[in-house]
Amino acid sequence: MRTKTLLLAAALSAAGLATSLAQSNVYSLNVVGYINIPVSAAPGFNLLANQLDLDGTGTNNTINTVLGTNLPSLSKVVGWGGSGWTLQSLLVGGSWTAAQLPGINSGGMQPGQAVFFQNPAANPVTNVTLVGNVLQGNLSRTYAAGYAPASSMVPQSGTVAALGFGSLPQFSHVLRYTDPVSGEVVGGYRNYNKIVAGDPGTWSPPEPTINVGEGFLLQTAAGYSWARSFTVQ
């Protein structure tokens, strides 16, 4: 068996040590790691992307398995409800409020999606830590037409094209959340416009670089199918 550890920070990723545990022509490759995302003091918002997976299926990630409960009381997760940021869950008494958990879990906690995390505390939060497996192989995710929260399914930083979104059609938009102290989820975006098709095409402002653990809003006229083959060497 061969194992690898991948250590990740919000703006930097690095492959760790590979250790051979047996002399064999047959081996399995397990890649696990963490992403640490610091969040500014109240009313600090981060458009957060979970780019690690609980069990290798890419489907069974929840607020509890992704974020846990070791966070300030009244921390908030805001999820996409199909036409806007309408789903919310609060951390109260050591538990996330349950009413909208199913929608948030399926609509934001899986790799390739995104949710807002709000820190209610007067001090920055440094322990928003995501832990799990790195998905490998042929990966894909489909985004609906109009606005859709998006991210890379793998924990890398890079330009939009480098992360697998190079085939976005002309007049697509990537909206990054750049104002974590505005206190308003609906504000604080910077809009990047793809004005010429192609990979990477031409962007105005210039094509952005997306950080590890960062989500963004994707706007397309007809929806978009993201696909990428990814293997940790």
Structural domain contains residue 24: no
- Token reading at 140: 């894909």
Domain of residue 142, residue span: 135-230
- Whether residue 115 lies inside any domain: the answer is no
- Tell me the residue type at 24: S
Cis peptide bond N-terminal to 205, omega within 30: yes
> Which pTM does this prediction carry?
0.85
Residues 6+ apart with CB under 8 A from 15: 4, 6, 232, 233
Angle, alpha carbons 153-2-25 (nearest 5°): 115
Model confidence band, residue 175 (pLDDT cutoffs 50, 70, 90) = very high
pLDDT at 66 over 70: yes
With respect to residue 194, please indicate whether it lies within any of the assigned structural domains.
yes
Neighbours of 118 (CB within 10 A): 22
pLDDT for res 22: 32
For 197-211, the DSSP string reads -SSS-EEESPPPEEP
| Cα(219)–Cα(193) distance, integer angstroms | 10
Q: Express as a percent the part of the chain with pLDDT over 90.
A: 69
Q: What is the H or E stretch that residue 104 is in?
A: helix 101-106
102-143, pLDDT tens digit by residue?
999 999 999 999 999 999 999 888 889 999 999 999 999 999
**Does residue 212 fall inside a structural domain?**
yes
Give the residues across from 143 on adjacent strands: 224
Q: Is residue 94 domain-resident?
A: no
pLDDT tier, 12 (very low <50, low <70, confident <90, very high otherwise): very low
Structure tokens at 205: 């402002």
Evaluate whether residue 48 is within a structural domain. no
Model pLDDT, residue 44: 84
With CA atoms as reference, report the closest residue to 217 among 168, 154, 167. Answer: 168
Number of domains in the chain: 1
Task: Assess if residue 107 is contained within a domain.
Answer: no
For 27-62, write each residue's pLDDT tens digit.
346 799 899 998 888 888 899 999 999 988 888 999
Give me the percent of the chain exceeding a pLDDT of 70: 83
Strands 2-9 and 76-79: unpaired
Categorize the per-residue pLDDT at 208 as very low, low, confident or very high, splitting at 50, 70 and 90.
very high
Whole-number average pLDDT of the chain: 85
Query: Do the domain assignments include residue 151?
Result: yes
